[in-house]
Amino acid sequence: MRGGEQKEGKEEEEEEEEEEEEEEEERLCKLVDDFLESEAVHISSPSADSCHPEDETSLILK
């Protein structure tokens, strides 16, 4: 009987590990999504484009 109990315990541990891995993966995906969204807003903001327009044109002319 003990062998069966140990087997069930191992299966439960494996299931818990899989759930933890899935939760960690979801958290990482959310972090990446949040980061990309914040960067996209930052990159596309007009203030970032118009910081030094004269520098950009002088670089193009050179």
pLDDT tens per residue across span 40-53: 755 555 554 455 55
Supply the pLDDT for residue 5.
62
Indicate whether this model's pTM tops 0.85: no
Q: Where are the domains of the chain?
A: 2-61
pLDDT tens per residue across span 5-42: 677 788 889 999 999 999 999 999 999 999 888 877 55
- Contact between residue 19 and residue 13 where contact means Cβ atoms under 8 Å apart: no
The tokens of 5 are what? Answer: 């109990």
Dist CA 20 CA 14 (whole Å): 10
Supply the pLDDT for residue 27.
96
Supply the pLDDT for residue 46.
53
